[in-house]
């Protein structure tokens, strides 16, 4: 598979402005901010993000962050719930570490002043699908991610040795002989390149929902981190496990706005267009089943009825509670003429989260020297085949912190720029990037959705191969071109991993292999073929 070495070989890196630092953190969600704050205790940090600092998947997280902090809760229960949701593929050691350290990290968020909601002065908890206890901390009702991001960013802004790089897109990692030396950035503020060399690099770039047509993810979630690490030689794990959020707003002209899991946690019913509750037909736990089960059940119901959506019904819930817990959801729905206190919300599943990602150990270390990954871009083994609701922010918080504490050489090694050839500057793109992006999203939504089969997966792999032969060879100069290359790269790893897993498990459902097989109670691993032309 072609890689972006052609771009690097066309750039005289010795002429590119250079920053050297102890640690480089790429990404500004909960994992990246946590990593930067932890690393700042040990030396200078460069914190880079491709867009504005408030623009990340974390910011859009509504439901909350899970932690066994309530009096009736225990770490063992949180571990058990996570393992059950993960359909046999969770790493129990990683799950236990997250649950234990997560309580400590969440208490730190409280001490920082994160405005978590309270009842009579005590922290308020809600419950979501798959959880046996009310353990979800939330803020501003349904704006938890935004509140956490603002709190961490405030702390970052007051930390002198964190140097921030806003609107800096990571084109590629600088790597040589199995080690990472930092990254090459496109500074979109001024349209120029910047080289950041670092003793250790943390990739915390978030998810890849924009690879699909229907997603809850913001426009920045184009899978950049997975593609960066893959091209550098890191191993990707379990890329077939893409989680669909079961309830996103389904209205003509409206974005696929996420309707939080917490809405069902507070008692909302899923009904078909005849007003009938249907979840018990497919799962004993009804509306509080794990996300993969609810998404699959909705599609089964849609196939049974011939309808295009189902609805969330909150009309039996106290209107005052709805207004207090879900002000953001209520406001957005009101923009489209819905009063969720008396109108059912039309919903259907959309891509929400990647359980797989860059393979790491319990210290967030990849199999590339000096390279770490944390948050949604990483695969720690916590989520297995299906993520338990509100574990994502917790994982990013815990493993971002651990990545920030990583050991690094005392002095920043210099990237061996002299090994690169000196060619002409990159050409302008001849491709219609928007057209490629639309075609990719349509293909993945059609063939890599909630239900998959071998014929369509093979078609997807072959189609992607044909597109990649010319798209990855193109030498772009602008962020959209680089992003579409990244999207194609991660789409291929998803398709190949899904084709290889001949079973149904968690979020990966094969209509031609409908059963879960004990032979597949193992992880899928993907790495670049270094001998490919």
Which of 4, 103, 256, 291 is the catalytic position? 291
* Backbone conformation region of residue 466, classed left if phi is above 0, alpha if psi is from -120 to 50, else beta: alpha
498 CB neighbour count, 10 Å cutoff: 26
Burial readout 291-326 (b: 16 or more C-beta within 10 A, e: otherwise): bbbbbbbbbebbeeeeeebbbbbbeebeeeebeebb
Rounded CA-CA distance 517/84 in Å is 16
* Among the listed residues 226, 234, 223, 236, the one whose alpha carbon sits nearest the alpha carbon of residue 175: 234
90 CB neighbour count, 10 Å cutoff: 24
Contacts of 131 (CB under 8 A, 6+ apart): 66, 81, 265, 388, 389, 390
Which secondary-structure segment (H or E) carries 297?
helix 291-305
Q: Report residue 235 CA to chain centroid gap.
A: 17
Confirm whether 291 is a catalytic residue.
Answer: yes
Name the DSSP class of 533.
-
Q: What distance, in Å, lies between the first and last C-alpha atoms of the chain?
A: 7
Rounded CA-CA distance 29/145 in Å is 9
Instruction: Using the Cα atoms of residue 101, residue 102, residue 107 and residue 112 in order, give the sign of their dihedral.
Output: positive
Query: Exposed, middle or buried: residue 1 (CB in 10 Å: 0-12, 13-18, 19+)?
Result: middle
Rounded CA-CA distance 341/321 in Å is 10
44 CB neighbour count, 10 Å cutoff: 17
Structure-block tokens of residue 227: 């593609």
Rounded CA-CA distance 379/364 in Å is 9
Q: Strand runs (DSSP E) across 222-322, as ranges? A: 236-237, 242-249, 269-271, 310-313
Give the up-direction half-sphere exposure of residue 496: CA atoms within 13 A in the CB hemisphere: 16
Are the beta carbons of 69 and 395 closer than 8 angstroms? no
Structure-block tokens of residue 214: 């229907």
* Among the listed residues 375, 377, 352, the one whose alpha carbon sits nearest the alpha carbon of residue 226: 377
Give the up-direction half-sphere exposure of residue 32: CA atoms within 13 A in the CB hemisphere: 32
C-alpha gyration radius of the chain: 22
Rounded CA-CA distance 416/29 in Å is 31
Catalytic center residues: 291
């Amino acid at each position: 598979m072609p890689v972006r070495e052609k771009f690097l070989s066309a750039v005289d890196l010795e002429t590119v402005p250079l920053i050297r630092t102890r640690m480089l953190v790429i990404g500004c969600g909960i994992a990246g901010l946590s990593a930067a704050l932890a690393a700042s205790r040990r030396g200078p940090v460069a914190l880079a993000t491709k867009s504005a600092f408030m623009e990340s998947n974390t910011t859009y997280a509504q439901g909350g962050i899970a932690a066994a902090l309530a009096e009736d809760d225990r770490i063992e229960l949180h571990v058990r719930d996570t393992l059950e949701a993960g359909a046999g593929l969770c790493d129990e050691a990683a799950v236990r570490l997250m649950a234990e350290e997560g309580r400590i990290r969440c208490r730190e968020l409280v001490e920082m002043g994160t405005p978590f909601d309270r009842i009579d002065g005590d922290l308020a908890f809600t419950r979501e699908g798959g959880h046996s206890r009310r353990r979800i901390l939330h803020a501003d009702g349904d704006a938890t991610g935004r509140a956490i991001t603002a709190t961490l960013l405030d702390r970052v802004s007051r930390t002198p040795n964190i140097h921030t790089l806003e609107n800096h897109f990571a084109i590629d990692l600088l790597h040589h002989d199995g080690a990472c030396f930092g990254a090459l950035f496109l500074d979109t503020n001024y349209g120029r390149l910047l080289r950041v060399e670092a003793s250790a690099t943390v990739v915390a770039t978030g998810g890849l929902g924009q690879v699909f047509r229907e997603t809850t993810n913001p426009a920045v979630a184009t899978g950049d981190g997975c593609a960066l690490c893959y091209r550098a030689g890191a191993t990707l794990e379990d890329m077939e496990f893409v989680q669909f959020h079961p309830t996103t707003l389904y209205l003509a002209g409206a974005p696929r706005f996420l309707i939080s899991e917490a809405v069902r946690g507070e008692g909302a019913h899923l009904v078909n267009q005849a007003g009938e509750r249907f979840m018990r037909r497919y799962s004993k736990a009804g509306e509080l089943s794990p996300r993969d089960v609810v998404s699959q059940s909705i599609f089964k119901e849609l196939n049974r009825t011939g309808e295009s959506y189902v609805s969330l019904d909150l009309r039996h819930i106290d209107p005052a509670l709805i207004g207090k817990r879900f002000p953001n959801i209520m406001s957005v729905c009101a923009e489209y003429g819905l009063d969720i206190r008396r109108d059912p919300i039309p919903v259907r599943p959309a891509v929400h989260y990647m359980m797989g990602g860059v393979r790491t150990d319990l210290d967030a270390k990849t199999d590339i020297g000096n390279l770490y990954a944390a948050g949604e871009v990483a695969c720690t083994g916590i989520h297995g085949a299906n993520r338990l609701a509100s574990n994502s922010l917790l994982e990013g918080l815990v493993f971002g912190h651990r990545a920030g504490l990583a050991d690094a050489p005392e002095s920043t090694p210099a990237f061996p720029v002299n090994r690169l050839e000196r060619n002409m500057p990159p050409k302008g793109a001849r491709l219609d990037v928007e057209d490629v992006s639309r075609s990719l999203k349509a293909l993945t939504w059609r063939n890599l959705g909630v239900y998959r089969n071998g014929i369509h997966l093979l078609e997807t792999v072959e189609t992607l191969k044909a597109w990649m032969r010319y798209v990855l060879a193109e030498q772009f100069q602008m962020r959209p071109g680089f992003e579409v290359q990244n999207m194609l790269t991660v789409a291929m790893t998803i398709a190949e991993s899904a084709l290889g897993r001949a079973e149904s498990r968690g979020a990966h459902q094969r209509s031609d292999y409908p059963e879960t097989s004990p032979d597949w109670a193992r992880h899928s691993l993907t790495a670049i073929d270094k001998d490919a032309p």
